[in-house]
């Protein structure tokens, strides 16, 4: 069936600040059009910048058709071919010096039509760098509901960000100061584990604000090829804790430490001390490591997860 072009009246930009949406694309043909349509349905002015990491399916053709329908609003760039995190970091690094509001988008979700409008309202008046994120509706590949992501039980902070991610990247929206910060930090970034986790560490590290919306802003599609996927079921949570106890998170921690050390001068004085305590979790003895845990005040969401963190620290596996 031939897709109808959008009504020209709908292409008139609505009032309010524009939002640049960054999307990392790779072999996303199957669900891409639904996501693009949900971006087009946003109640704010938007433009879309896509980094294509060498897709060989029909995704680029879908993008070309979409760009033709929304003339001037869509830009496609060649991705660096380093996975989703590398793709997003490249897109952030290529933002203009004054980027305005910036949102991140996965290729296979479906956004609620008020997603960006709600984010802009939440970010309005934020003093300094700020990042909005939200809960998500977890759906199967046919968008049948599977549940909601968990709500955080502890507040966001750099102490938390160093050991656990709170920010679902597919919901993230940065205010202009946050986007400018991310742009500068992305230049020269290397070895980043997950771009959303990196953003969480960066914004909290410089003393910025994380706004977590308890209401979901999108349908997070689970289809077997998600880069990360929802980690909210009891089996998934148990697997994550088991990986931590086995020391499989240690490489991630070392990568996070190297990246935050690179940006050390940007951190608040308090958070530079926190980073030093985090480095001390690699200390030579269980006592040294447990003292670093206590002095650093590191925490994860939930009692079981927190208890596992303490055990992993004692074993030298954080």
Q: What are the boundaries of each domain within the chain? A: 8-221, 234-314
Residues of the chain by 3-state class (helix, strand, coil), percent to 5: 45, 15, 40
Residue of 184, 249, 174 whose CA lies nearest to 208? 174
pTM: 0.91
Q: With cut-offs at 50, 70 and 90, classify the pLDDT of residue 186.
A: very high
The pLDDT of residue 208 is above 90: yes
CA distance 287 to 276: 16
**How do residues 22-52 score in pLDDT, each as one tens digit?**
999 999 999 999 999 999 999 999 999 999 9
CA distance 20 to 103: 6
The pLDDT of residue 227 is above 80: no
For the segment 134-141, the average pLDDT, to the nearest whole number, is 97
CA distance 288 to 75: 51
Provide the pLDDT for residue 137.
98
CA distance 249 to 240: 9
Output DSSP code: residue 178: H
Percent of the chain exceeding pLDDT 90 equals: 86
- Dihedral sign, CA of 261, 265, 267, 272? positive
Rounded to 5 degrees, φ, ψ at 245 are -65, -30
What is the Cα 171 distance to its own chain's centre?
A: 7
Residue of 233, 191, 1, 223 whose CA lies nearest to 107? 223
In this structure, CATH architecture of domain 8-221: Alpha-Beta Complex (3.90)
Q: With cut-offs at 50, 70 and 90, classify the pLDDT of residue 4.
A: very low
For the segment 204-223, the average pLDDT, to the nearest whole number, is 97
The pLDDT of residue 278 is above 80: yes
């Amino acid at each position: 069936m031939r897709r109808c072009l959008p009504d020209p009246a709908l292409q008139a930009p609505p009032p309010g600040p524009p939002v640049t949406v960054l999307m990392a694309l790779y072999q996303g043909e199957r669900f891409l059009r639904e996501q693009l349509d949900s971006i087009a349905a946003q109640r704010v002015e938007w433009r879309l910048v896509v980094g294509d990491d060498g897709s060989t399916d029909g995704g680029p053709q879908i993008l070309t058709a979409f760009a033709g329908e929304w003339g001037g609003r869509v830009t496609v760039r060649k991705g660096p071919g380093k996975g989703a995190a590398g793709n997003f970091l490249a897109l952030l690094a290529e933002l203009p010096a004054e980027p305005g509001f910036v949102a991140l988008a996965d290729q296979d979700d479906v956004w609620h039509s008020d997603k960006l409008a709600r984010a802009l309202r939440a970010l309005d008046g934020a003093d300094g760098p700020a990042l909005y994120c939200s809960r998500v509706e977890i759906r199967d590949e046919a968008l049948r509901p599977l549940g909601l992501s968990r709500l955080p039980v502890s507040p966001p902070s750099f102490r938390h960000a160093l050991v656990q991610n709170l920010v679902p990247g597919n919901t993230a929206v940065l205010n202009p100061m946050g986007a400018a910060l991310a742009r500068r930090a992305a230049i020269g970034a290397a070895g980043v584990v997950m771009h959303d986790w990196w953003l969480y560490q960066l914004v909290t590290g410089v003393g910025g604000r994380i706004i977590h919306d308890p209401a979901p802003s999108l349908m997070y599609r689970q289809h077997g090829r998600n880069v990360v996927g929802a980690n909210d079921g009891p089996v998934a949570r148990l697997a994550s804790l088991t990986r931590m106890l086995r020391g499989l998170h240690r490489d991630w921690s070392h990568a996070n430490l190297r990246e935050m050390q690179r940006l050390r001068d940007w951190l608040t004085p308090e958070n530079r001390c926190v980073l030093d305590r985090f480095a001390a979790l690699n200390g030579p003895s269980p006592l040294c490591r447990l003292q670093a845990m206590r002095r650093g005040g590191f925490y994860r969401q939930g009692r079981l997860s927190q208890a596992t963190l303490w055990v992993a620290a004692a074993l030298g596996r954080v």
